[in-house]
């Protein structure tokens, strides 16, 4: 006779397989789908969302979960699986099927409308879709329930227990430290001339180089692929052995594709580091989006912008682009990669100003969902916030509130995960340095695998067995804190 826990795992894996199909359609939508495919794709995505919701809401599945939860002989791993599946189901059954389908179908169309509006600098074409997404997510929040703010229910999607009130305090503390720190850095280290300004780097060469770097990071390239696209880079994990990365490469701005691919490869390393034997269950899923972002931000910034990394990789980069970089000294290149200056585009922001971009988005999102702002007010609020935080005003919407894909996909509440990722990356790297005293020398020799092994052990292999904060405590002995990150910035830039 099949044990109830085995039946539960089998049911869970069926739902995960459907989620993988949906992930494949998302990857194809970003990488290969023709423009006219959006209507058919919206219906396909909605159909899959409906089936998964029906399976998760099935009373028989709920009964099976309760039977497993009542068992007295569950292993710690199976107990964690049951606990997390109950959490997922409790949230799922609160939301009507019709709303789940409408959210999925509308988000696909909204993303397409965003891409066209951004390319044409036509916010009026996107605002109606953004209004729909905000309204749908607000309805979802009402069904899910919240104590203080509907925005809390959105944050829950990205880290269990994350709430707006403590985030507001955290961001206020960050802003209070970062603004004067930025001024101090600019006073002591005015931005030098960009050594890469005016140079053009063919995409084919960039792609070949970043594939080498991703492989050296430990990403199994036989189980992953990287494709150039014209919009926003993403990582989609269909399975630990099937990782899809799309990346925007700019011929006139090398760091976009270079650091962006290291970012997405960091996500891919997390997915490949999850235990394959538990695939299809929460033990083979990331602890949270905020922990996921800590992995990508660590590789993008604290490795990808580091002196040790470029000691090994700059000569290799020059061999890919001898005409462009043959006369550019390594020190000048490194200085360009680490220029600190206010900028308009979040994904191209330096480490010091990046979190100010996130604070702006957090303030707008909370205002939208607390009823203090209408969708039509976003552009003016954005421009005023950029002026206040960074002293800049976008000349066109594609450099302003149209620059990110997240709102078009309904991913309100996602942006704070990037800042939490920055803070946690500094803490993880500090702990790794303590445990791996030769890590810097290894990186300087192009040996990135000891760091990967440390992250596999301390972060990746646990899946959702522990919460984000529990993983932080186990790996670093600390709670999430801005102080190690701020200390890292001061040490590096001052």
| pLDDT tens digit sequence for 202-237 | 999 999 999 999 999 999 999 999 999 876 788 999
- Quick: pLDDT tens for 140-167: 999 999 888 899 999 999 999 999 999 9
User: 411 and 238 in contact (C-beta within 8 Å)?
Assistant: no
Which stretches of 393-481 are DSSP H helices? Answer: 415-435, 439-444, 449-458, 468-476
Q: Which residues have C-beta within 8 Å of that of residue 457, sequence separation ≥ 6?
A: none
pLDDT given for residue 190 in this prediction: 80
Percent share of the chain, pLDDT over 90: 94
- Residues 342-356 as b or e (16 or more Cβ within 10 Å = b): bbbebbbbbbbbbbb
Residue 15 has pLDDT above 80, yes or no: yes
Active site residue 264: yes
Among 264, 293, 351, 469, the active-site one is 264
Residue range 164-493 in CATH 1.10.10.920: no
Q: How confident is the model at residue 422 (pLDDT cuts 50, 70, 90)?
A: very high
End-to-end CA distance of the chain: 66
Q: Which residues have C-beta within 8 Å of that of residue 101, sequence separation ≥ 6?
A: 46, 49, 50, 53
Gap between the Cα atoms of 92 and 65, Å rounded: 14
- Quick: pLDDT tens for 356-415: 999 999 999 999 998 889 999 999 999 999 999 999 999 999 999 999 999 999 999 999
Q: How confident is the model at residue 191 (pLDDT cuts 50, 70, 90)?
A: confident
User: 301 and 480 in contact (C-beta within 8 Å)?
Assistant: no
User: 336 and 192 in contact (C-beta within 8 Å)?
Assistant: yes
Gap between the Cα atoms of 242 and 272, Å rounded: 9
Under DSSP, the state recorded for 371 is T
Q: Which residues have C-beta within 8 Å of that of residue 451, sequence separation ≥ 6?
A: 303, 432, 436, 439, 442, 443
pLDDT given for residue 447 in this prediction: 98
User: 350 and 338 in contact (C-beta within 8 Å)?
Assistant: yes
Q: How confident is the model at residue 110 (pLDDT cuts 50, 70, 90)?
A: very high
Query: Over the chain, what is the mean pLDDT?
Result: 95
234-239 sheet: strands from edge to edge: 224-229, 242-248, 234-239
Query: What six digits make up the tokens of 59?
Result: 């009373």
pLDDT given for residue 30 in this prediction: 85
pLDDT given for residue 225 in this prediction: 96
Gap between the Cα atoms of 411 and 250, Å rounded: 25
Gap between the Cα atoms of 412 and 333, Å rounded: 36
pLDDT given for residue 129 in this prediction: 97
pLDDT given for residue 269 in this prediction: 98
The arithmetic mean of pLDDT across residues 248-255, rounded, is 94
- Quick: pLDDT tens for 397-406: 999 999 999 9
DSSP class per residue in 432-454: HHHH-TTHHHHHHTT--HHHHHH
pLDDT given for residue 192 in this prediction: 76
3-state secondary structure of 41: helix
Q: Which residues have C-beta within 8 Å of that of residue 329, sequence separation ≥ 6?
A: 195
Pairing of strands 242-248, 234-239: antiparallel
Gap between the Cα atoms of 307 and 490, Å rounded: 16
Residue 242 φ then ψ, to 5°: -150, 85
Residue 1 has pLDDT above 90, yes or no: no
- Quick: pLDDT tens for 53-107: 999 999 999 999 999 999 989 999 999 999 999 999 999 999 999 999 999 999 9
Gap between the Cα atoms of 246 and 210, Å rounded: 12
Residue 171 has pLDDT above 90, yes or no: yes
224 beta partners: 243
Q: Where in the chain is the domain with CATH 1.10.1370.30?
A: 164-493
Q: Which residues have C-beta within 8 Å of that of residue 103, sequence separation ≥ 6?
A: 49, 136, 137, 140, 410
Query: What six digits make up the tokens of 10?
Result: 């089998």
- Quick: pLDDT tens for 256-282: 999 999 999 999 999 999 999 999 999
Kindly report the length of the chain. 494
Question: pTM of the predicted model, to two decimals?
Answer: 0.95
């Amino acid at each position: 006779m099949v044990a109830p826990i085995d039946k539960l795992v089998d049911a869970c894996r069926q739902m995960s397989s459907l989620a993988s199909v949906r992930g494949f359609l998302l990857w194809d939508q970003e990488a290969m789908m023709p423009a006219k495919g959006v209507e058919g794709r919206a219906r396909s995505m909605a159909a899959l969302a409906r089936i998964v919701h029906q399976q998760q809401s099935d009373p028989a599945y709920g009964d099976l979960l309760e039977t497993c939860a009542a068992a007295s002989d569950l292993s710690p791993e199976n107990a964690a699986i049951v606990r997390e599946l109950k959490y997922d189901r409790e949230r799922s059954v609160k939301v009507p099927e019709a709303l789940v389908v409408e959210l999925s179908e509308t988000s696909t169309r909204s993303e397409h409308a965003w891409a066209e509006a951004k390319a044409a600098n036509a916010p009026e074409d996107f605002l109606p879709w953004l209004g729909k997404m905000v309204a749908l997510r607000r309805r979802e929040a009402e069904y899910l329930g919240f104590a203080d703010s509907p925005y809390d229910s959105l944050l829950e999607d990205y880290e269990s227990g994350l709430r707006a009130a403590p985030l507001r305090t955290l961001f206020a503390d960050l802003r209070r430290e970062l603004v004067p720190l930025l001024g101090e850095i600019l006073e002591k280290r005015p931005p030098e001339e960009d050594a890469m300004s005016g140079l053009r780097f063919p995409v084919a060469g960039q792609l070949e180089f970043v594939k080498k770097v991703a492989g050296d990071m430990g990403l199994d390239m036989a189980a992953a692929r990287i494709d150039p696209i014209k919009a926003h880079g993403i990582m989609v994990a269909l399975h630990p052995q099937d990782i899809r990365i799309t990346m925007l490469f700019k011929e006139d701005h090398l760091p976009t594709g270079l650091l962006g691919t290291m970012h997405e490869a960091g996500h891919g390393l997390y997915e490949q580091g999850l235990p394959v034997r538990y695939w299809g269950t929460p033990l083979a899923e990331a602890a949270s989006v905020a922990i996921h972002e800590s992995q990508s931000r660590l590789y993008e910034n604290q490795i990808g912008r580091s002196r040790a990394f470029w000691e090994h990789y700059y000569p290799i980069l020059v061999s890919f682009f001898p005409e462009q970089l043959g006369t550019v000294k390594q020190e000048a290149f490194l200085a360009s990669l680490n220029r600190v200056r206010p900028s308009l585009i979040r994904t191209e922001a330096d480490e010091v100003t990046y979190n100010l971009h996130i604070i702006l988005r957090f303030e707008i999102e909370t205002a939208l969902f607390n009823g203090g702002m209408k969708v039509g007010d976003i552009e003016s609020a954005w421009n005023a916030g950029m002026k206040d935080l960074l002293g800049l005003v976008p000349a066109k919407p594609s450099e302003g509130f149209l620059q990110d894909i997240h709102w078009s996909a309904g991913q309100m509440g996602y942006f704070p995960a990037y800042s939490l990722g920055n803070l946690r990356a500094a803490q993880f790297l500090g702990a790794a340095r303590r445990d791996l005293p030769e890590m810097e020398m290894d990186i300087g020799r192009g040996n990135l695998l000891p760091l990967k092994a440390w992250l596999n052990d301390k972060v990746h292999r646990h899946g959702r067995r522990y919460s984000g904060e529990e993983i932080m405590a186990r790996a670093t002995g600390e709670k999430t804190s801005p102080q190690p990150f701020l200390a890292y910035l001061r040490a590096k830039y001052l």
